[in-house]
A = this chain, B = another copy of it.
């Protein structure tokens, strides 16, 4: 069942029940505004990734600042956004099976929907579902620009698949999906430029070969928070799919800028508020937030503004803190903000965002697509 909200608007931050997913609204809005300002001069659009936030509320705040819509990874996420009024949604992923394709086609009656394919049999399956529903579905060809995961090879393979889409009665060829995920977290600008340079070249070559066959790409989409400024300047990409910029996590904060300092474009806006529940051992305190509350796939969380305290291990329901003899022991009942190692899966562990401004709870927003795996 849905969990009760851990707070009531108007209460102070230290009254929030923990563990809780807390959004610093000032930092969050700064991030939204900064992304809009950075992309405005490029002519490239933001199609923010909702896999990060899973919230139609946040999707709307992105659109207010110029985003063309959102992308998602799952049909269940697309449903939540469309039901919440988001008008333009790309599933930046393959969707397999007649049941899921029927759901996607049904959604296209209430929002503009597009989906990706990397396989001829899948194109046939989408065509069958669209024909059955009596609609036309926009399909992008996903190309592999370095992730070695999904995607056909750029060039002739991609062109052949695009032609198959364009020749399908109920499908519209929508362009290319060209996302390089692992490039986002390379630590130096040189590493990120090298990988995205390859993605840009592959995309440009494929766009040109498609054009020679009379196929235009309405969308060339990709990029994340780590590299979007490179793709945005490429002249090839038309839509940026950054998601994490709204919150920033500890892992993205380990990326470096040209000067060798941590990238500071965006601010930490997402925290897991946690309470010390035990301080029975010297030099050790235990929080009520372990890996069931804060994702550890991209490293352990860090403790906000308490750089003298390290979060050193995450069992399922406990977070172990260690600190030196110069630090006053955190006492049971004391509340600390954790910066998650990875914001996307951390958000997915909660039912509610608690929006905080000036130390007080301003709003509660549901993590409406939490658990939307299908």
Q: Complex: how many Å from CA A332 to CA B152?
A: 14
> In the complex this chain forms, how many copies of it are found?
2
Q: A358 in the interface, Cβ–Cβ < 8 Å?
A: no
Q: A34 in the interface, Cβ–Cβ < 8 Å?
A: no
Contact between chains at A181 and B93 (CB < 8 Å): no
Contacts of A296 in B (CB 8 A): 297
Contacts of A318 in B (CB 8 A): 149-150
Contacts of A292 in B (CB 8 A): 344-345, 348, 373
Contact between chains at B297 and A1 (CB < 8 Å): no
Q: Complex: how many Å from CA A359 to CA B333?
A: 49
Q: Which residue of B lies closest to A317 (CB)?
A: B73
Contact between chains at A316 and B332 (CB < 8 Å): no
Q: A122 in the interface, Cβ–Cβ < 8 Å?
A: yes
Q: Complex: how many Å from CA A27 to CA B336?
A: 42
Q: A24 in the interface, Cβ–Cβ < 8 Å?
A: no
Contact between chains at A316 and B51 (CB < 8 Å): yes
What are 16 sample pairs from A and B whose C-beta atoms fall under 8 A apart? A1-B370, A3-B372, A6-B374, A17-B97, A18-B97, A18-B374, A19-B373, A73-B317, A96-B332, A118-B278, A119-B278, A150-B277, A150-B278, A291-B345, A350-B371, A350-B373
Beyond known contacts A73-B317, A95-B277: 11 more, CB 8 A cutoff: A1-B366, A2-B2, A3-B371, A74-B317, A93-B277, A119-B332, A144-B280, A149-B315, A149-B320, A293-B373, A296-B297
